[in-house]
């Protein structure tokens, strides 16, 4: 062990046979700052990656000031933050985040805060892996994707909920994985609170709660911990549902789930084969099979017939989707699997609108050749913030564009990482390093569930893989570490 590793203050749990556990230290802000300063002084690789991550984020703020704005989501988030009400489509987690930043009255503050959160995620990934006994260079490399990936930088620069969701999800997961032995009740409850906050930021987080409960049961943390987690999740969600009911008359997180599911079925549903009611049959797309629009076109008002606003009651759409999926389950699975393949397929270009959505996550610059480009929010912090037209070419955005062409992680690499993670879990039986085996399977399952459920309920969008920038490297580092350790007797 080197001198610097010997003096590292309690960031790893001794895991080799015969070692004696170091005394536990309570968390404090001062201790965290001292630990970070120690890591920066003693780990040149981590220091270089962290500095590079900070530098490219400064480049984003300079080249694309103040922030990106393209989606109708952005305006809806700002309106909800201003009026302090619930939106029927998007939950209130991200508007609350904007509400906290609203006194600054600058959209640039949102982008800057999200970039700082991106750097913070890199530090947390490094800290977790050091805590779990991973070598310094592997821990630093695991933090590299979230620190340097160009697509991650673009997402952080958008006034969208994705960065906040990734932060909350990472915090919830790290709390569960931080210690290699027992899980205190209050930590389980705190993790549940973060999962609830993530679910109120992006509704896909609700799916992950089931995965976490299964993980806690298999880990045998104790009934008090499982109960604490469940209660910490349930109370915020139940409270929000009551508030949502007060404003919209429905106990739910949003009133658009049925429409999401309906839009997903529009590409394959054969209405002649399904026993729809007359009310449901009115939602059948008019175009024949093979000439249908994309699901996002039906969902986001690009359909000339405007079927998505035909009924106010979301239950009609949910009923339509349920019947369509039950009547054509193989077609539904085929559509989801095909989009999953396209999500990670190198160089794939779909229909024009899908291609446009993909190009939105590239670094924009004039003459880039993208199908469409994200726009800048040129007005102050306002719900109706207008967007500037285009990106006149200059050395700043050309430089960032060049960076993006080199430092964007191909999606298929995550496929190989997850395949390795699950294969490694099978390679070493549960009797050998059972807890670590369970941890990597848990991280892999959360990653797969995030992507698959997003595609099962909505149209293809490359930003769905953003949380994998932290989860997949952690799983990979833990998997490699298991092979470097001697098997348990």
Asked if pLDDT for residue 390 goes beyond 80, the answer is: no
Model pTM greater than 0.85?
A: yes
pLDDT of residue 165: 97
Provide the β-strand partners of residue 158: 68
The residue written with tokens 């270089």 in the block is 48
DSSP element (H, E) containing 37: helix 29-42
Percent of the chain having pLDDT more than 90?
56
CA torsion angle 342 344 348 350 (round to 10): 40
Cα–Cα distance for residue pair 190/188, rounded to 1 Å: 6
Give tens-digit pLDDT for 40-73: 888 899 999 999 999 999 999 999 999 988 677 8
Cα 27 versus chain centre, distance: 26
Question: Rounded to the nearest 5°, which phi and psi values hold at 377?
Answer: -90, 105
pLDDT, residue 304, reads: 77
**439, 169 contact by CB (below 8 A):** no
Arithmetic mean of pLDDT, 284-311: 84
* Tokens coding 50: 């962290």
What's the chain's average pLDDT? 85
Please report, rounded to a whole number, the percentage of residues in the chain having pLDDT higher than 70. Answer: 86
Helix (H, G, I), strand (E, B) or coil at 183: coil
């Amino acid at each position: 062990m080197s001198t610097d590793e010997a003096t590292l203050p309690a960031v790893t749990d001794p895991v080799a046979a015969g070692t004696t556990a170091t005394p536990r230290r309570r968390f404090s802000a001062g201790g965290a700052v001292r630990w970070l300063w120690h890591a920066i002084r003693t780990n040149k690789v981590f220091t270089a990656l962290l500095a590079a991550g900070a530098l490219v984020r400064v480049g984003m703020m300079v080249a694309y000031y103040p922030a990106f704005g393209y989606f109708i989501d952005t305006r809806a988030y700002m309106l909800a933050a201003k009026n302090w009400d619930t939106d029927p489509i998007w939950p209130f987690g991200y508007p609350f985040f904007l509400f906290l930043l609203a006194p600054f009255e600058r959209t640039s503050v949102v982008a800057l805060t999200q970039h700082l959160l991106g750097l913070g995620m890199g530090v947390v990934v490094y800290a977790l892996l050091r805590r779990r006994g991973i070598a310094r260079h592997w821990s630093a490399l695991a933090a590299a994707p979230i620190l340097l990936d160009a697509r991650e930088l673009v997402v952080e620069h958008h006034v969208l909920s994705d960065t906040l969701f990734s932060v909350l999800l990472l915090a919830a997961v790290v709390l569960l994985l931080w210690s290699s032995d027992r899980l205190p009740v209050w930590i389980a409850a705190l993790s549940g609170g973060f999962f609830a906050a993530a679910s109120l930021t992006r509704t896909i987080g609700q799916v992950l709660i089931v995965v976490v409960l299964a993980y806690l049961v298999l880990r045998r943390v104790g009934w008090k911990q499982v109960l604490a987690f469940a209660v910490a999740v349930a109370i915020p969600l139940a409270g929000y549902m009551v508030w949502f009911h007060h404003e919209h008359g429905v106990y739910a997180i949003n009133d658009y789930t049925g429409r999401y599911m309906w839009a997903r079925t529009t590409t394959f549903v054969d209405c002649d084969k399904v026993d729809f009611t007359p009310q449901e049959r009115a939602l059948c797309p008019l175009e024949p099979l093979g000439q249908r629009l994309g699901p996002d076109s039906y969902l986001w008002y690009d359909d000339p017939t405007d079927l998505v606003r035909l009924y106010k009651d979301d239950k009609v759409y949910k009923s339509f989707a349920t019947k369509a999926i039950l009547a054509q389950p193989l077609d539904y699975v085929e559509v989801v699997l095909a989009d999953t393949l396209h999500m990670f397929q190198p160089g794939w270009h779909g229909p024009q609108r899908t291609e446009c959505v993909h190009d939105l996550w590239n670094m924009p610059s004039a003459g880039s050749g993208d199908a469409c480009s994200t726009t800048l929010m040129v007005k102050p912090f306002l719900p109706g913030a207008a967007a500037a037209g285009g990106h006149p070419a200059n050395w700043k955005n050309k430089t960032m564009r060049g960076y993006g062409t080199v430092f964007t992680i191909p999606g298929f690499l995550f496929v190989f990482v997850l395949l390795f993670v699950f294969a490694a879990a099978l390679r070493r039986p549960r009797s050998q390093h059972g807890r670590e085996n369970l941890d990597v399977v848990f991280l892999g399952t959360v990653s797969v569930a995030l992507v698959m459920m997003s595609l099962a309920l909505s149209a293809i969008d490359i930003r769905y893989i953003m949380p994998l920038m932290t989860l997949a490297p952690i799983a990979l580092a833990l998997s490699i570490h298991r092979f470097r350790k001697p098997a348990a007797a």
